[in-house]
Amino acid sequence: MPKVKFFATLREITGKREEIIEGDNVGDVLKVLYEEYGEEFEKELKERSMILVNGKNIEHLEGLKTKVSEEDTISIFPPAGGG
């Protein structure tokens, strides 16, 4: 089971810095997180978030089908705000 690290607003929504989540790929892990943290979490992620597996952006791997194992760390960054 991979370790998932949350940052910024996602940390506020989950109330956690990290969590161990069961899943064989990134999509499976996100599905569990959507069920656990609901619509607010899902909406935040779908607005241009960045997801890294062991420091590599999943856009350069296999996207949501990127395989993960218990040695892997998934880092999820919400969209950056600013002005």
Tens digit of each residue's pLDDT (9 = 90 or more) over 10-59 = 999 999 999 999 999 999 999 999 999 999 999 988 878 899 999 999 99
Q: How far apart are CA 8 and CA 63, in angstroms?
A: 22
With contact defined as beta carbons under 8 Å apart, do 6 and 45 qualify?
A: no
Domains defined for the chain, CATH in brackets: 3-72 (3.10.20.30)
Tens digit of each residue's pLDDT (9 = 90 or more) over 54-80 = 999 999 999 999 999 999 999 999 877
